Amino acid sequence: MKISLSKIFIVVLLFFFSASMQIISQQKTIIEGTVINSSGNPIPYVNIFLLDKNEGSTSDDDGSFFFRTTARGEVILMASSVGYEKQEKKLILNGDKIELKIVLKEIPIKLKELVVTGSSFGSEKEKGLVISRIDIVTTPGGAADIYQALKTLPGLTQVSESAELYVRGGDPIETVTMIDGAALYHPFTFESAYGGLFSNLSQSVVKGMYFSSGGFSTKYGNALSGVLDIETKNQTENTKHQIGISMANISLTTELPLISNKLGAYLDVRQSFTKPIFWLNGGNDRMVVAPISGNATGGLVYSYSNTGRFKLFGIASKDEQGVKVERAEYNGIFNGNTKNYFLNLTHSNLLTENIMTKSSVAYNTYSNSWRLGSLDLEKTEKVYSTRHDFEFTLSPVYGLHAGIDAEFRNTNFVGVIPQEEYDIRPEGNIQVINAGFSGSRFGFYSELISGAIFGLSDVSFTGGVRYDVITQLKVNWIDPRAAIAYKINESSSVRFGWGIYHQLPDPKLFRSDDGNPNLRAMNAEHFILSFDKNFSDFNSFRVEVYHKKYKDLPKENSLVNFDNSGFGFANGIDLILKSNIAGIDGWISYGYIDTKRNWMDFDKDVNSSFDITHNITLVAKYNITNSFQIGMNAKYATGRPFTPINGSVFNAANNLFEPIYGLTNSARYPDYKRLDIRLTYFDQVFDYPVIAYIEGLNIFNINNIFGYTYTPDYSKREDIESYFGRRMVVIGAMINIGGV
């Protein structure tokens, strides 16, 4: 589908009109600088603001900050961040630019972060290679989505264009998302057979995140492959508002300090509308109900003391879509809708100088319905959870982490599904489903952390054990895990991690009619060896090799539907180079994987459905001027394995051609290739900071294939075109009011 020149002209005209809407107002004072610690390292996420003025900024990951103010005369500038002493500076504002270097002293409250894990990436310098909030916002093609941005990291495979995380050959259900300590099992919108397209958590409410593609500590349970641990914002100290609008959504973000240093609130509300995208780029003909969604995330934070805090955080989202679907046996309309509500209350406090505690109580309710032909299925899920974590500082180099968590999960499936997956016709044979699974899981963990094991100052160690039990299933498991790191010099280190990991299979496999209520937990053993090199604060490199061994996977069994006889492995190597050279900021990541499984309906050891042999991503951004940045996101991935259809036989009784399948996962889709570019504009419009952008997605219009449809007799096949994978042009802007 070609984009008309008139449409592109309208888009470009609107973009540069918004970029040029600068007005001459009263002269403002520019305040900029950096925030560092006593060692000279930058400190991210520091609040810098003028007392009683509601004007200020937050430092980026490199410690830099920038804002403009209309204030005049003598003012007090405050800099504050958790774990550091507050600092005040007296300034005289007269319209001249002010440059500052702020040094914050660390508060010796607790042991410095010494967690040693394999495969860690975070938004904090101490937790491995960094992907910052700025990276999330400005990475082309990511739609400022946390999960889409994470997919540019090694260890994550490009299986589809969904936001779901496929970690080192594992199914998406093998990676758990934690929000302030509580598991969120459905963090996506527009869920379908192709996965969820975006996350329902806005990056604007996130304080920090930690992602591990393997070798994570005993703090995390019931996850076989990976963990995404997100911490939401705490107390807000100055009023901020942000309005965003693009061809895909409109959003409003606000931060309100209700009682100074005591009570604050923040909220992000957004409504998506995809019709403008399809109007400009084509695709409306495939939509009966263009995908729409509404989403709200927010928090209320109460600090009752210098170290004690309550935080109530919630997510509410819903979406709807109606898409024309063409299959060999039936052409119809897929209708899907989802509702998701999550609420989490956390409490944290420094009980003594050496004991930190954090507790949470959470509730999540989720429902979705899928309708296509004879398929009419509704899934509902309710999750109640609580956890309590303790951090003990035993000495300057030894710490002990321990905790307990409990979860009650109830999942139900009600409706009808096709008897055979190749016959979804309304008149086809169906199977009535009315089944559910309820279970309570209790977990306990403890681990010792040392920054100088056996007195060796260059050797760090983490070792612990986790115990989980499912009372209804009478199933329990013990997971020992350990990791050790050796600091070669000030810029280089090597790490080795090992651990046992268990996770319950998909709840639908516990259905009594077509599953097995007596299934056990799946098992994976991780071995990880990595090398890190930091050339500077902005240039770093990591290489990592790993081996995962799976056993006790669910496998089809003619007598009991499923048993735990499945097994598999995953071997691979991941590399990432993150740098800022000659003004070009970005990273290049590469992953190689060889993974096979014998599970579910596989007839022998074959390539995993998510065995993407090679994954390469290149992200680069360059500031053309102080106001314009250009960026690119280039991706290449080996095609995903699939089971081919080699012919068909006619079933006269059902008046239907039945497909003849080839060997399981013996074919591959074409390799995935895509290039996204983005031009971003930073400046002031109507006295307020503005970010405007124009983005070209898949600019070479490469037809990336994730599935095929067939003629009724399966003699010919055609590509299933991705809804959002064609070449597209998107424009948008964000304006900040009352701070940056």
Residue 277 domain-assigned?
no
Q: What are the phi and psi torsion angles at 667 (to 5°)?
A: -125, 165
Q: How far apart are CA 427 and CA 394, in angstroms?
A: 68
Tell me if 215 sits within 8 A of 530, measured CB to CB: no
Same domain, 11 and 136: no
Question: What pLDDT score was predicted for residue 118?
Answer: 42
Q: How far apart are CA 538 and CA 547, in angstroms?
A: 30
End-to-end CA distance of the chain: 39
Residue 247 domain-assigned?
no
Q: How far apart are CA 693 and CA 33, in angstroms?
A: 26
Same domain, 98 and 125: no
Nearest to 528 by CA among 95, 21, 128: 128
Same domain, 461 and 486: yes
Q: How far apart are CA 24 and CA 684, in angstroms?
A: 10
How remote is the C-alpha of 722 from its chain's centroid?
Answer: 21
Three-class DSSP labels, 359-393:
EEEEEEEEEEEEEECCEEEEEEEEEEEEEEEEEEE
Residue 358 domain-assigned?
no
Same domain, 646 and 580: yes
Residue 621 domain-assigned?
yes
Tell me if 387 sits within 8 A of 407, measured CB to CB: no
- Name the 3-class secondary structure at 317: strand
Same domain, 52 and 181: no
Of 104, 134, 152, the residue that ends a domain is 104
Same domain, 200 and 97: no
Same domain, 534 and 605: yes
**Cross-strand partners of 448:** 400, 463
Same domain, 557 and 596: yes
Which CATH number fits the domain that encloses residue 86? 2.60.40.1120
Q: How far apart are CA 509 and CA 524, in angstroms?
A: 19
Q: What's the average pLDDT block by block, 10 residues per block, for the chain (740 residues)?
A: 49 46 53 86 79 71 79 85 77 87 69 41 43 70 76 82 85 91 86 66 82 89 91 83 83 89 91 72 68 90 88 93 87 90 94 87 94 93 96 85 95 91 92 86 93 80 94 90 90 92 88 85 94 84 94 92 94 91 87 94 89 94 86 94 94 92 93 92 73 87 88 91 77 72
Residue 352 domain-assigned?
no
Tell me if 447 sits within 8 A of 217, measured CB to CB: yes
Q: How far apart are CA 183 and CA 201, in angstroms?
A: 13
Residue 401 domain-assigned?
yes
DSSP string, 669-721: PPPEEEEEEEEEEEEEETTEEEEEEEEEESTT-----S-EEE-TTSS-EEE--
Which CATH number fits the domain that encloses residue 613? 2.40.170
Of 76, 104, 132, the residue that ends a domain is 104
Same domain, 556 and 672: yes
Q: How far apart are CA 557 and CA 602, in angstroms?
A: 11
Residue 641 domain-assigned?
yes
Residue that the structure tokens 């800022």 belong to: 580
Q: How far apart are CA 365 and CA 380, in angstroms?
A: 8
Task: Quote the pTM value.
Answer: 0.82
Same domain, 559 and 646: yes
Q: What are the phi and psi torsion angles at 13 (to 5°)?
A: -60, -45
Residue ranges making up the domain that contains 31: 5-104
- Name the 3-class secondary structure at 19: helix
Tell me if 311 sits within 8 A of 299, measured CB to CB: yes
Residue 736 domain-assigned?
no
pLDDT tens per residue, range 515-564: 888 899 999 999 999 998 988 877 889 999 999 999 999 999 989 999 99
Residue 655 makes CB contacts below 8 A (sequence gap 6+) with none
Q: How many residues does the chain have?
A: 740
**Tally of structural domains, the chain:** 2
Same domain, 160 and 76: no
| 128, burial (CB in 10 Å: exposed 0-12, middle 13-18, buried 19+) | buried
Question: Can you read off the two tokens belonging to residue 269?
Answer: 């509300």
Same domain, 565 and 499: yes
- Name the 3-class secondary structure at 328: coil
